[in-house]
Chains A and B, each alone.
Chain A
């Protein structure tokens, strides 16, 4: 059974703090790693699609890195804002199936 893990499970930070989360996945038969942001009462929204070892992607204050050989990805948020409060999901693709992690719930306190 393929298992994608995320840590921490939840995180509370102050506005302006920078933070990061980890996604761990089996490195064999890797195809792609996705990051999604899921705000309450909304649908999950894609942040990044990463496929190559060493990939680094950036979108505003959010960035992500990928290490396919050791099976991990980091998501960084610089200068957290209250609107960054959400659950951040990673998903790894194996064959035709996406395996999602349980998510990291981020709360940014004003």
Chain B
């Protein structure tokens, strides 16, 4: 079975631009969550979607948005990029939220210049 796939793997954007990151979960997983990881810190929770509905949102500005599609894939959108948005963005899928482990993709490395 294919694991969680994320695209693109790397991305360079300029301040003020917009970016869309994509994630395909493991087949059968209906829950997808997004995390931002900067060097020296653990992953920070951004969003969780389950059955196409937002179920949780972390402490991130409204410039960050996401959605989940009928096939359970997901997009993370970030508007008006800032230098501080440079990070590794991880997507994870799972069967049920707390009793099942998260399965992570390899991440998208975003650099904002």
Chain A residue at minimum C-beta to C-beta distance from B100: A49
Indicate if the CB atoms of B90 and A44 lie closer than 8 Å.
yes
Most buried by B among A34, A44, A100: A44
Residue in A36, A96, A101, A103 whose beta carbon sits within 8 Å of that of B55 in the complex:
A96
Q: How far is the CB of A4 from chain B (nearest CB, A)?
A: 7
Q: Which residue of B lies closest to A101 (CB)?
A: B42
Interface of B is mostly: loop
28 A-B residue contacts at CB 8 Å? A6-B42, A31-B98, A32-B99, A34-B101, A42-B106, A43-B3, A43-B4, A43-B107, A44-B90, A44-B102, A44-B104, A46-B102, A49-B99, A51-B98, A89-B42, A91-B42, A91-B43, A93-B97, A96-B56, A96-B97, A97-B45, A97-B48, A97-B56, A98-B102, A99-B45, A100-B42, A101-B42, A102-B40
Residues in chain A near residue B48, CB distance under 8 A: 96-97
**A49-B99, A102-B40, A102-B42 given; 18 more Cβ-contact pairs under 8 Å:** A32-B98, A32-B99, A36-B102, A36-B104, A42-B106, A43-B3, A44-B43, A44-B90, A44-B102, A46-B102, A49-B101, A93-B98, A96-B55, A96-B97, A97-B56, A97-B58, A98-B45, A100-B45
**For the complex, what is the distance from the CA of A100 to the CA of B33, rounded to whole Å?**
13
Please report the C-alpha to C-alpha distance between residue A43 and residue B42 in the assembled complex, in whole angstroms: 13
Q: Which residues of B contact A (CB under 8 A)?
A: 3-4, 33, 35, 40-45, 48, 55-56, 58, 90, 97-107
| Complex interface: chain A residues within 8 A of B4 (CB) | 43
Closest to A46 in B: B101
Q: Is the CB of A43 within 8 A of B98?
A: no
Instruction: Please list the residues of chain A having a beta carbon within 8 angstroms of any beta carbon in chain B.
Output: 4, 6, 31-32, 34, 36, 42-46, 49, 51, 89, 91, 93, 95-103
